[in-house]
Amino acid sequence: MDDALAGAGAARPGATWEMPRPPATIIPLPGLAFPTAALIFVLTAVVGGWLAVLQFAHVAFGAAWTIVDLFMGLVIGPLMPRMSPQARLELSSRLMPQMAVLMPTLVTVTLVSGFQLSLKLGTINTAHPYHTWVLASFAVVGVMALVALGVNEPTNLAVLFEMRKPRPDLELIGRLMRRFIYSSAVLGLMQLGTLIIMARLAS
């Protein structure tokens, strides 16, 4: 898989294909409607103190975060080595701009709503019987957020900037995509740990 992804742009001798069109913009402007609406939604719930809405936001956006990470790591990751170099680059040019907007939104809403729920339900207090489990969830989710925002997001943007160059470094794009997919797989596995903790809190 490493060789296949690292050589994302290295076509076989004699093969001819066209470089896919680079993304028109680093961040798709129409796609900004979703994060804007999501942030307004969760901030309104925080200000209004709407417990049910915060619970919905935490569960829905947290589940979406889990699904996307598992899909990237367990579906897209094994699929990419079987794709032609042109198909890999075409997929990257279409997928990465969307991911650059989607993932920070899912992470932010999940963290904000989860912390507010902990405050309102009192589980953050040391006297609460589930305090230790809540701290464990904070630790796991904190590491996940650091990986998502500190590794995946810069990697995502690096791919997009490289693809917009007149002569993009295809091997570099392959390495960056490999890093993105592997870290997404790690996040997906860590998400399973959070599900175990959440199941314990719900019991």
What proportion of the chain, given as a percentage, has pLDDT over 90? 31
For residues 186-199, give the mean pLDDT: 83
| CA of residue 47 relative to chain centroid, distance | 26
Is 188 part of a structural domain of the chain?
yes
Is 3 part of a structural domain of the chain?
no
pLDDT, tens only, 60-99: 999 999 899 888 888 888 888 787 777 877 888 888 888 8
Is 195 part of a structural domain of the chain?
yes
Is 143 part of a structural domain of the chain?
yes
pLDDT of residue 60: 94
Is 34 part of a structural domain of the chain?
no
pLDDT of residue 37: 96
Extract the tokens encoding 176: 């960056």
Distance CA 160, CA 52 (A): 38
pTM of the model: 0.80
Extract the tokens encoding 152: 């995946």
pLDDT of residue 15: 45
Is 21 part of a structural domain of the chain?
no
Is 192 part of a structural domain of the chain?
yes
Top pLDDT among 109 and 133 is at 109
Top pLDDT among 4 and 70 is at 70
Is 30 part of a structural domain of the chain?
no
- What's the total number of domains in the chain? 1
Q: Which helix (H) or strand (E) holds 16?
A: none
For residues 128-134, give the mean pLDDT: 85
- Which residue range forms the structural domain that includes residue 175? 51-202
